[in-house]
Amino acid sequence: MLKITNFSKSYNAKDFAVKDLNLTVNPGEIVAFIGHNGAGKTTTLKAICGLINFDDGEILVDGVNIVTNPLKAKKLLAYLPDNPDIYDHLKGITFLNFVADAFGVSTAKRQEIITKYATLFNIITNLHEPIKTYSHGMKQKLAIISNLIHEPKLFLMDEPFVGLDPKSSHDFKLILKELTNNGAAILYSTHVLEVAEKLATHVAIIHKGQILKYGKINEILGNKSLENMFLELAEEKTENIDKGN
């Protein structure tokens, strides 16, 4: 579903934010993208969905190149940023219909999806109110519904659980599992390692723009926790850099 080959991105002539990154996310997989602040997670996610250009490499979404065929590729994916920008002057339902129109979702299908998830997230009665009256958590829920509305094959999410109350967070995890059971692929970044350990099928640990470890989460962890694994790898990498290796 997602194939990244030799992806590199620099923001200046000297330093790379991401260097020669290779990553594959298959249908049915939930991949937790783990790393320190500035490790390259958000840069990678934005490049996948076509929000930023990159220097080298290739990114394919279900075989479609994000650079050479961006419109087709973007129709196959959804991106939830860590701080979604939503048009505050619109009503919630207007915003969702705007997104549905952009993706050509039929009236019947959009009504079905909006009703299902707005009811689950307990914001169905708020959809006819201006978004500027929403709390941060309500805006997050609205952004999640807007991601679901066109039934994408690939979900890209940057800290998706921030702002969600415990019940909504639980419900969202169930949604993600349902999506992957139906063949979707998910790549999401998070600092909440306990959640990643329970939710993800795979983990990709990134440090200073390079993947340190990737694979099935149960095979990688063994008897260790994801937190211990991450800290050990990051410390080992830092020591090697300090030694000049």
pLDDT at 228: 85
CA–CA separation, 232 and 205 (whole Å): 11
How does pLDDT run across 19-66, given as a tens digit for each residue? 999 999 999 999 999 998 889 999 999 999 999 999 999 999 999 999
Q: What are phi and psi of 13, to 5 degrees?
A: -75, -15
pLDDT: is 127 or 219 the higher one? 127
Instruction: Give residue 244's pLDDT.
Output: 55
Q: Quick one: pLDDT band at residue 245, thresholds 50, 70, 90?
A: low
Predicted pLDDT of residue 113: 98
Q: What digits encode the pLDDT tens for the residues 167-203?
A: 999 999 999 999 999 999 999 999 888 889 999 999 9
Distances (CA, A) of 129 to 88, 92, 115, 157, 233: 10, 6, 16, 26, 47
Q: What is the pTM of this model?
A: 0.92
Q: Does domain 1-76+154-245 have CATH number 3.30.420.40?
A: no
Task: List pLDDT tens digits, range 70-95.
Answer: 999 999 999 999 888 899 999 999 99
Cα(61)–Cα(49) distance, integer angstroms: 9
Give the span between the Cα atoms of 20 and 208, in whole angstroms: 12
What integer pLDDT is reported at residue 240 of this predicted model? Answer: 58
* Domain extent listing, the chain: 1-76+154-245, 83-151
C-beta atoms surrounding 112 within 10 Å: 13
Q: State the pLDDT confidence band at 237, using cuts at 50, 70 and 90.
A: low
Q: State residue 23's pLDDT score.
A: 97
pLDDT at position 226 is 86
Pick 121 or 241 by higher pLDDT: 121
pLDDT band at 239 (very low <50, low <70, confident <90, very high): low
Q: What is the DSSP string of 156-217?
A: EEESTTTT--HHHHHHHHHHHHHHHHTT-EEEEE-S-HHHHHHH-SEEEEEETTEEEEEEEH
